[in-house]
Chain A
């Protein structure tokens, strides 16, 4: 089949623009024009895997990361999430491309104006301080008397439609309330004597009706787990795509991110969706939504109306299931639309999957080395991104739609034995059967895009080529227990 495109019109500058939007900091970060204006609701990565912490193998871990590219020293406000937003993790356990269960996180700012008496003796004035904290923090969640701004959150469990379904608030079994506390970001070693221990105190046991078993929840700052050779990728893939897998620099090595993490018994998530062997299959994705209207206040008042007011219905502005979809699959003009869309409407984006541009771009940039598969439509990518792997995580009768899919019946691979190429590397507990923090989704996706799922080498000459961005996730930067992502880097190391 002839491929019709005018190579002569694709200048180096145009390619630079295309690739600049194609690959970004994380698997989906600042990838769409609108979301660059709203970093607090920018979903960067979504992980879903059968828990590999010893003794927790009967649970599934869900991790949604938001607010990318956190430099640890980013004071004085650091990286609170948006209390005017809702952050959601959706589960489709019926295979019909619609959510059956939604875990909705809603944050609340807790402010206390800390003041110091300043002035001559007998004539002091109480003056508000400019810093996040004026003393040590911790060791427990309640030890924040020196902090001016903290956050609490609630988790609603919604069955059915995410807006009109049956909702209940998850109970914090520690005190019977519906409130959980988000740890203050890792300001540094003088503010925290033991940040790791402090953060661990914010791992809560939760409960909701219809679920018997231990549920754990955590929301807070963690070290960025995604690894990518960002600078060179942006520079027209200025690297050897067939070079060593770990010869380049991880440009995210000094970043933090904010994680919303849940550990839920498998039995509390599964439904009727099952593969051809009768094993359950879960679909998952994360979204964030803002109120549709926002009015700026030209005269913000500390004790009155703040800098803005929001109103209207919640409007989705971020969506992430499978990694890298909005990064390297969806065209620039449709990235905002994708972020606002739902899996049940993914037919509108089908052409981006059946006729992908990334392989063509690689072929142009690496003429003579990279050869794009000559098969259209790319039914292999439809399977990878929209349906699941047959016999593994493809539900019988699946409604094609973009989301991460997990077969929780497949045994976990112990942390030290995990193959970061996942299924491509013979490790069926890894990507694209869900996604674990160790999984190198960039290398896996590059190889799949260039035909790794196409057995006929005459159709896909690069189907065994070991494409790579040259960076792997360092397992030393991960944990073997919930919430699996490492303690965040401190703003000051002392």
Chain B
């Protein structure tokens, strides 16, 4: 006997789905460094180099990732191989 056949028609009222239309991602908190956490309505400008520096500066086993969806990223240093020498030398 298939136990699943006892399901029949389920009432919608029994359905509880959590979550609003969050952005998903790793958690609910924005680490707003460089991000849009200041409450402004627009995209927050930043350079890619600065963003990477900010992300590395927040290295932690307990930190939440930086939300980049609210960032207006300018891709600087596209031809600069030395852009992240300081990060490489720290390892």
Contact = CB atoms under 8 A, between A and B. Distances in A.
Contacts of A341: 24-25
B17 A386 contact: yes
Contacts of B63: 163, 312-314
Contacts of A97: 18
B59 interface: yes
A61 B24 CA distance: 29
A291 interface: yes
B27 interface: yes
A428 interface: yes
26 contacts: A163-B63, A289-B26, A312-B65, A313-B65, A314-B65, A337-B25, A338-B24, A340-B24, A344-B18, A346-B19, A347-B17, A348-B22, A350-B17, A379-B12, A379-B15, A382-B17, A383-B7, A389-B4, A389-B7, A390-B7, A398-B16, A399-B18, A400-B17, A400-B18, A424-B2, A426-B2
B44 interface: no
A458 interface: no
Interface residues of B, number: 45
B30 to A, nearest CB: 11
Contacts of B65: 292, 312-315
B78 interface: no
B52 A295 contact: yes
Given A293-B56, A312-B56, 8 more contacts: A305-B91, A306-B91, A312-B58, A315-B65, A342-B24, A347-B20, A401-B17, A455-B7
A309 B87 contact: yes
Contacts, number: 139
> Which DSSP category, helix, strand, loop or mixed, fits chain A's interface?
mixed
The 9 closest A-B pairs by CB, nearest first: A311-B56, A347-B19, A341-B24, A312-B55, A313-B63, A345-B19, A293-B55, A379-B10, A315-B65
A316 B23 CA distance: 13
Interface string A381-394: 01100110111100
B56 A382 contact: no
A316 to B, nearest CB: 5
A209 interface: no
A266 B59 CA distance: 36
Nearest to A315: B65
Interface in B5-48: 5-10, 12, 15-28, 31
B88 to A, nearest CB: 5
A382 B15 contact: yes
Given A312-B56, A341-B24, A383-B7, A348 B81 contact: no
A342 B22 CA distance: 11
A342 B60 CA distance: 20
Contact of B61 (A298, A314, A337): A314
A311 B7 contact: no
B73 interface: no
A488 to B, nearest CB: 31
Given A382-B15, A389-B7, A313 B25 contact: no
Contacts of B28: 345
A97 B90 CA distance: 39
A312 B59 contact: yes
A115 interface: no
Given A164-B62, A313-B60, A400-B18, A389 B3 contact: yes
B66 interface: yes
A311 B59 contact: yes
A456 B10 CA distance: 13
